[in-house]
Chain A
Amino acid sequence: MTTLDLKGLLCPMPIVKMAKAIKEIEVGQTLEAVATDPGVMADVPAWCRSTGHELVTLEKLDKQFHFVVRRAQ
């Protein structure tokens, strides 16, 4: 699984980086990412919904936000 470090990035850069990284994996594979900006808690689910990617997990651990997204078509 590819892990993307989004720590320290502010909106909209987490989504910009995610959109770029997810193109580099195959359909059905997952992308794991970690961010520190709480804005991802709203942005990532909305981005997944609008693009069709599956949000597998999204959780807060300490002061970091960890999420896993499965690439759709």
Chain B
Amino acid sequence: MNDKEIIELVNTALAEEFELEIEDMKPEASLLDNLGLDSLDRVDMVIVLENQFNFKVREEETIRQIRTLGDIHDFVITKKHEIGSE
């Protein structure tokens, strides 16, 4: 899976879970201010990503630093590469 495919998969999974419009899903979009995802949604978002990409990331410190959709893309891409190189 290349980076573009990962981004598409993240966007599709989050759009379905949180009923987001794909055109609003720009990398710079703030999760809270632009996409309306609050703290409860962020917990569910981790579960959605874990199911989608088959990894466990809930306890990772970097997941708490995420502010934008682009941060999620970067996080998942990095994680997938880490897993791929193991």
Are the chains A and B members of one assembly? no
Tell me the A residues contacting B by CB distance below 8 Å. Answer: none
